[in-house]
A and B are shown apart, each in its own frame.
Chain A
Amino acid sequence: MILRRTAVLAVGLVALVCGFAASLALGAVQVPLHDVIDALLGKAEPGPFKQIVLTLRLPRTVEAMVVGAGLGVAGALLQGALGNPLASPDVIGVTAGAGFGAVLILLVFPGSIALLPVGALVFGLAAAALVFAIAWTGQNAGSVGKLILAGIAMAALFTAGTTSLMTAYPDRVQSVIFFIAGGLTSEGWRELEVVWPYLAVGFVIALGLIRPLDRLALGDDVAASLGARPRLVRLGAGIAAALLAAGAAALAGLLGFLGLIVPHVVRLAGGTASHTFVVPASAVGGAALLVAGDTLARTVRAPIELPVGPLMVVIGVPLFLWLLRKAV
């Protein structure tokens, strides 16, 4: 079993390294490999090639890794904490909230477009906060069912807000399409500079929750007898997932599908549901999948860029179905 897990993790890491290299080497403009290496080593002369590699491809590749890892981990945390295989960042309202925040900036305040990642982040976290506030008050506070229902309701509310905005500003809808479809951009490091603290906190909390989540998998009563506090673990997992998913949405739009499918792929491939394996493997798998997907999105019809969200579905679903068939 350990060998299988190690092999899966190794394959994931190799895929990630290959994806990283391909993402830096390939693009709409053909940059010779030695120029890519020179640029990375700081030996390149100033010029378009250096700018393309260091200002466009490198930040975008790092963003793809961070977003993919964040969504993979967010999905693994939520599926583990809620004991529900259908859990993903969509369930706690983060995706819908972030979508509303971004669309609000894009449609109503196009003059403040620089605030787009902030809008997505703030509304994504606000949506999650409302879900937690509702789920952790009143009767059955902190129950899984209540959390999921509150999340569905909040997601419906923010989605309605988004569609209302799109109806109110039909002439501006084109600006929104790529955000909703999900896709990375080549805007240097500036968006990552805004979002990285939230992602970092999310990853740190996730690491701290690995063992408690394994205990929680045994059932609330057993977990409690082993010293874990199920409701607190769920809250912590929800907060970490919200930070990761909102940060990911701020950087790459709505790619919630990754958060749902990557942990399942990892579990099926590794043959275990242990979070000691699933959480780091989901990070690696999500990062590798998004880096590969983004490279394809940039190159398949270059110089035209495709939204990466639908491409992720095209890549991810056959892989997932193949694994699912094998598992059954």
Chain B
Amino acid sequence: MRRLAVVALTAAAFAVIAAPAGAAAPKRVVALTPFTANTLAALGVRPVAIGQTLGGRERFNKRLKGVRTLPMSHPNGPNLEQLASLNPRMVFNSPTFRKGSVGIRSLEIKVVESDPHNIAESVAQTRRIGRIVGKRKQADKLALKLLKGVANARRNIRDRPTVLLILGVGRTPFVFLRNSWGGDVLRNAGGSLLTAGRRDRGGFARISDEVVVAEDPDVIIAVPHAAARDIPSITRYLRSNPAWSTTSAVRNKRVYVSTDNSLLQAGTDAGKVIRTVRRKYLKNAK
């Protein structure tokens, strides 16, 4: 009898603790990053607006079709008047637009910052978002699905080519480091980042071309913020770089240009992105 009482009391206590999360789950939510927008959609929460993103809408969940898109600008994020007119109770913002969070909070809107930089973080963030919007169980399932997707995508990796993954074009492209989303996806796809274990604030750095010559990448992938029509000219430009012209990547015509945002911005489709990277760029998938 006493044990039953303890169990009942414990369950009641949990219910009391859990209840505010459920009861306080906001109805009107704005998601400014693709990751949070897709996570919310997968959890069955339809945001009243999502943030504009580069690379088009093809990575967005189908349930987000018709949701209003808010233009974003650096460093503040959305226009506060536009945002206020939507009357949201909660905004999922990116740390990139942290400066704008102050203004959003001044509108008495709760701000949650979330934009994972690696797959492990995306799993944790999925669970966190689930708790915040009162969808804990669904979030746990989603996180598990994400992990399974990644595990499946990583199967049978045989080749581990050395990869130079660069952001932007120009005379000084930045390199993805391991603490960036693209760097983590690439490592999970079996690529060995030319920048090895190096980290830097923000996950990107300008590294010396001497290192590129010395470490001789097998594959070069550029994420240039350009349109698909620019791929041939950018590829030609990259291949003509005298620092890279003797690398195995150029000699073996393994210089690729990725014009979507899958390597740049975290998503809920990590498994799919890893499979694509393996098939299209690393050629280490069946």
Query: A interface vs B, CB < 8 Å?
Result: 27-29, 48, 51-52, 55-57, 106, 110-114, 116, 167, 169-179, 183, 185-191, 298, 302-307
Contact = CB atoms under 8 A, between A and B. Distances in A.
A305 B171 contact: no
A29 B229 CA distance: 36
A175 B225 contact: yes
Interface residues of B, number: 39
B191 to A, nearest CB: 18
Given A110-B224, A171-B54, A27 B210 contact: yes
Contacts of B229: 111
Given A28-B208, A111-B233, A170-B73, A52 B169 contact: no
Nearest to B75: A170
Interface string B241-284: 11100100000000000000000000000000000000000000
B169 A48 contact: no
B173 to A, nearest CB: 8
Given A56-B243, A111-B226, A298-B208, A29 B213 contact: yes
A56 B170 contact: no
B194 to A, nearest CB: 10
Given A113-B233, A183-B172, A185-B172, 7 more contacts: A56-B213, A175-B169, A178-B172, A179-B170, A186-B242, A187-B171, A191-B171
30 contacts: A27-B208, A28-B210, A28-B211, A48-B214, A48-B216, A51-B246, A52-B210, A110-B224, A110-B226, A111-B234, A113-B170, A113-B237, A114-B237, A116-B171, A170-B74, A175-B170, A175-B173, A177-B172, A178-B206, A179-B170, A185-B209, A186-B210, A187-B242, A302-B208, A303-B198, A303-B208, A303-B211, A304-B208, A305-B207, A306-B206
Most buried by A among B174, B210, B213, B227: B210
Contacts of A111: 226-227, 229-230, 233-234
B170 to A, nearest CB: 4
A29 B211 contact: yes
Nearest to A188: B242
Nearest to A27: B210
A67 to B, nearest CB: 13
B210 A56 contact: yes
Contact of A179 (B172, B211, B237, B246): B172
B72 interface: yes
B196 to A, nearest CB: 10
A26 B1 CA distance: 79
A304 B205 contact: yes
Contact of A304 (B167, B173, B200, B209): B200
A178 B206 CA distance: 9
A186 B208 CA distance: 8
A178 B166 CA distance: 14
B208 A185 contact: no
Interface string B213-241: 11010000000111101100110010011
A303 B243 CA distance: 15
In order of increasing CB-CB distance, the 9 nearest A-B pairs are: A111-B230, A188-B242, A28-B208, A178-B172, A175-B168, A171-B54, A186-B209, A172-B225, A185-B171
A178 B169 CA distance: 11
Contacts of A183: 172
B204 interface: yes
A11 B243 CA distance: 34
A178 B170 contact: yes
Contacts of B240: 114, 190
A70 to B, nearest CB: 18
Nearest to A170: B74
Contacts of A114: 237, 240
Contacts of B243: 55-56, 186-188
A313 B270 CA distance: 43
A303 B172 contact: no
Contacts of B230: 110-111
A191 B171 CA distance: 10
A183 B171 CA distance: 9
Contact of B210 (A170, A173, A303): A303
Contacts of A173: 74
A28 B207 contact: yes
A112 B233 contact: yes
Contact of B242 (A48, A55, A169, A171): A55
A48 B237 CA distance: 21
A302 B198 CA distance: 11
A150 B13 CA distance: 74
B238 to A, nearest CB: 9
Nearest to B206: A305
B207 A303 contact: yes
Most buried by A among B233, B242, B246: B242
Nearest to A305: B206
